[in-house]
Structure 1
Amino acid sequence: MPRFWANVIGNQLVWLCAVIGAGHGLRWPALLAAAVYVGSQLAWSPHPSVDARLMGVAIACGLVVDGLAGGTGRVVYAAGNGVAWLAPLWILALWAAFAMTLTVSFAVLQRHLVAAALVGLLLAPLAYLSAARGWSSVVFAAPPWHGVAVLGLGWAVALPLLAACARHWQRQASPLDTLAAGETR
């Protein structure tokens, strides 16, 4: 149970560091917080190679989802890269950190891909709205629901994809990997 709570609380702390930092024009708080969090989660993971692959897929999803949202002009990110079609580094750090939840606190979504799509569609945009209202790290062009819809639809595709990858790769992981991870951690 301690790993579950460290996973949940750590991910939320990364989110706070990212959106507060971006709201102040800074990328480094997200990068530092995500590096510490991801490192700790990989150290605790029974299958670090699975989590590392999930992180790669999550970053690719972030490049597509947030790149599309920014490129269409529907969403403007503070502390951006200067290229609308390229998701900001702080957003990609959030995607990397989020990937660490897919085998722990969001592991239930691996068995319920429709629920994963609904979580992506409905709940993910709330995080962006909170970042916009609380810290101005995200700005939605008028009408704001267009940007929310782009993000919701992107997450509705990305989250089931990530959950399916997590399930598939965990099933493929060798029992010897689990034993070795347990012996060295």
Structure 2
Amino acid sequence: MNYKKLANFILFIAGWWMALLYGNAMALIALFVVLMLHFILWRDVRDIFVILGFIFCGFAVEWAFMASGVQDYRSNLPPAWAICIWAMLATTMRYSLSWLINKPLWAALVGLLVAPAFYINSVQFGPAGWGRPMWECLLAIALVWSLLAAFLSGVLVPLVEQMEPADGGVS
């Protein structure tokens, strides 16, 4: 892994912890910093489409988790900190997690195994709670993220990869 990809992953993890531990205001600041540094490092406007796709998917998934009782955010809408995490995750898809592009089975396995750990942390360290028994929530999260990761890896990101860069090349 090269240094830019490592920095990309570290920025996501740092932003994720900031959002989780300090709430909406810090999540927005962390997102701003992550996005600014991301576009300084990569300078590819196609990433905007991945980020927007993740924001829309994230809002829908988090809302569905709330509606079904998987997550309890104690609000009527998904919190800004959770959506910021989705946007920050999007910055990794074409870079530090690029090894998953066009490999939906591997992406599904990663989603199945890794996503529940992130949600456990959001309950353990953050303002989220379980709306149902923990095992039901983790099973739902694992299954949804498995399918979602396969879709993002096999459809959304490859579509963006096929787009022509606005500047004629990717740096």
Instruction: Give ranges in structure 2 of 5+ residues lacking alignment.
Output: none
CA contact (8 A) 1:54 1:165 kept: yes
Structure 1 stretches of 4+ with a deviation exceeding 4 A read none
Deviations 1:107-143 (A, max 9, x none): 011131111111112211111112222x143211341
Number of the residue aligned with 1:11: 12
Number of the residue aligned with 2:149: 159
Return the alpha-carbon distance in structure 2 between the equivalents of residues 18 and 67 of structure 1.
18
CA contact (8 A) 2:15 2:34 kept: yes
Return the alpha-carbon distance in structure 1 between the equivalents of residues 82 and 105 of structure 2.
25
CA contact (8 A) 1:65 1:155 kept: no
Aligned length, in residue pairs: 169
**2:35 matched to 1:38?**
yes
Instruction: Give ranges in structure 1 of 5+ residues lacking alignment.
Output: none
Number of the residue aligned with 2:52: 56
Code of the residue aligned with 2:121 in structure 1: it is S
Please give the residue correspondences for 1:1-185 in structure 2 after superposition, counting only pairs within 5 Å: 1-21=2-22, 26-48=23-45, 50-77=46-73, 82-83=75-76, 86-133=77-124, 135-163=125-153, 164-174=155-165, 177-178=168-169, 182=171
Code of the residue aligned with 1:33 in structure 2: it is A
Return the alpha-carbon distance in structure 2 between the equivalents of residues 175 and 32 of structure 1.
27
CA contact (8 A) 1:54 1:162 kept: no
Return the alpha-carbon distance in structure 2 between the equivalents of residues 114 and 14 of structure 1.
27
TM (norm. structure 2) is: 0.89
Deviations 1:69-98 (A, max 9, x none): 111222112xx5x20xx2211110000000
CA contact (8 A) 2:19 2:85 kept: yes
Identity of aligned residues (%): 24
